[in-house]
Amino acid sequence: MKAMNHAVAEVRRAENKALREQGDRRLVGAMHVLRYAEANLPARYAAQLDALRASNLKAARAWAIKEELRELWSRESLDDALTR
């Protein structure tokens, strides 16, 4: 999960740089939101996460992939993971 969090941060950083050059500040401060697992997200970040998830941003897709991996990691066996 540490590697996935790092990957999400890299995607967000690159996308934020490109967006800011266009005057788009949607990802400014979003790293705090993207570091959390959905189950542990504080209520104050819920609206920001919902907005990111509704977007077509690469950072939002990277976060979703991270959460899928977290779900896969929680499976007790290979059979359990494959039947998901």
pLDDT in tens, 3-51: 999 999 999 999 999 999 999 999 999 999 999 999 999 999 999 999 9
- Contact in structure between 31 and 12 (CB atoms under 8 Å): yes
Confidence band for 68, pLDDT divided at 50, 70 and 90: very high
Instruction: Give the number of domains in the chain.
Output: 1
Q: Is 83 helix (H, G, I), strand (E, B) or coil?
A: coil
pTM, rounded to two decimals: 0.85
Q: What is the number of residues in the chain?
A: 84
Alpha carbons 69 and 84: distance in angstroms, whole number: 12
Domain range for 72: 2-82
